[in-house]
A = this chain, B = another copy of it.
């Protein structure tokens, strides 16, 4: 440990109680972005965060209006010649239902043993609190940061980040930098330190099948018209082959194959397949043949029906041929697939699968690009060194099966490579009752983020 590290540690040690108090104050603001009645709370959270950023020494602090909840911007730009980091987090949180699942009310956070319980404790106020606490300590101890830093904290991540991309585009010039750090991720199973190096993209569509002009009596008409549910079932059944592969022509054309190194990395991850299956309560794990469960989970593209409906859904029996039937279908995409290529291919295949006697439409409900960060990027290596030094073991490099569409926006619009580094425990009940943050992750996360900024300007070993 260097003298600089010792000073930083002394400061952090002396300030633990005050830091926790700030964090809990942040958690008490019920900034649920998806519920209009909480719009004032979102504004209050933005205002609280801006005040806090000013207090720790960040500059140009601004609560920037959008068409929805504001974006909080702040920077510190006095590290001449050093790289500029753009760090992202979100101050809004998920709804809290069901309320009876909570140990303490969701916006009355409590510390129970090693856990801080409360809505947002992890996702993502916890990560924001870590970033800001690291900056506070660095500025307090050294009067300066090792790099230039911009914070972009949005308030709509839990309600689709509608206004983030337009704001990033509109502010492209003042967001110049060298690397983005997106905090809205966490550790691997077993609470093992991890860096997320890939996200899947998405292409989302709705299939609508129309048969007769209205529901028909299945006795009077059964046998004479194509049942829209049968047509939809035939379409859905035709989207995969017997090996679990997606049958859409061209679907795999742009897929970057998993390399031997990729597959070795997957195989090296600690993963208890039996426990995973038992937790899901399924009689078998299934998927594309030739790949492991972890590879299927994030390294390969998928197609899933997200919902289906048509005809009678009530108790007992009603004897109709439904007039129409619909399904929501989405594909998870891996590099280098693109939703603007996958959607037309899916649509064409659905139309080709449609039987006679019905009319089929396929509607684009949006998409997002997959993303992947090179393990060789200096910022990834800096973050990895910082995590290993702080947590005592090298981080796992993991791929996430889900999508964070705006990561591609950081890459494409701002031209920034993105490092996905966050500190939430993998079983932290995000979006569920008793969301929690691990106190060790929180405290060591502060050290790790501070060290990452140092590592970004460290001379090569």
Using a CB–CB cutoff of 8 Å, the interface residues on chain A facing chain B are 200, 202, 204, 211-213, 216-227, 229-230, 232-240, 276, 280-288, 293, 296-298, 300, 302, 304-313, 316-322, 325-328, 330, 332, 355-359, 365-366, 400-403
Contacts and interface: CB of A to CB of B under 8 A. Distances in A.
Contact of A307 (B213, B235, B318, B355): B318
A33 to B, nearest CB: 15
A313 B236 CA distance: 16
A402 B298 CA distance: 50
A280 B134 CA distance: 68
Nearest to A291: B223
A198 to B, nearest CB: 12
Chain A facing B: main interface SS: mixed
B306 A320 contact: yes
A401 B219 contact: yes
Contact of A308 (B229, B240, B321): B229
Contacts of A226: 282, 284, 286
A185 to B, nearest CB: 12
Given A309-B308, A366-B317, A286 B217 contact: no
Contacts of A297: 220-224
A16 B283 CA distance: 71
A460 to B, nearest CB: 36
Please give the count of copies of this chain that the complex contains. 2
Contacts of A237: 230, 233-234, 236-238
A311 B307 contact: yes
A305 B401 contact: no
29 contacts: A219-B400, A219-B401, A219-B403, A221-B297, A223-B287, A223-B297, A223-B401, A224-B285, A224-B286, A224-B293, A225-B280, A225-B285, A225-B286, A227-B305, A229-B305, A233-B236, A233-B308, A284-B356, A285-B357, A286-B355, A286-B356, A305-B310, A306-B311, A306-B320, A307-B311, A308-B311, A308-B325, A319-B330, A319-B402
B284 A332 contact: no
Contacts of A281: 212-213
B330 A317 contact: yes
B227 A304 contact: yes
B223 A300 contact: yes
Nearest to A325: B308
Contact of A313 (B225, B298, B309, B365): B309
A264 to B, nearest CB: 19
Q: Which 6 A-B pairs have the closest CB atoms?
A: A219-B402, A307-B311, A223-B296, A307-B312, A233-B236, A237-B237
Contacts of A328: 311-312, 317-318
A282 to B, nearest CB: 5
A220 B307 contact: no
A306 B217 CA distance: 10
A150 to B, nearest CB: 28
A248 to B, nearest CB: 14
A233 B402 CA distance: 25
Contacts of A316: 365
Nearest to A365: B317
A306 B202 CA distance: 32
A222 B357 contact: no
A287 B359 contact: no
A440 B118 CA distance: 75
A226 B321 CA distance: 28
Contact of A213 (B219, B222, B280, B325): B280
A296 B219 CA distance: 11
A283 B358 contact: yes
A296 B166 CA distance: 57
Given A219-B403, A222-B332, A307 B310 contact: yes
A329 to B, nearest CB: 9
A270 B283 CA distance: 55
Given A402-B217, A403-B219, A306 B282 contact: no
Nearest to A273: B224
Given A218-B304, A220-B401, 17 more contacts: A202-B219, A219-B332, A220-B297, A221-B280, A222-B401, A223-B287, A223-B298, A225-B280, A225-B285, A232-B308, A286-B356, A306-B311, A306-B321, A307-B318, A308-B308, A309-B310, A316-B365
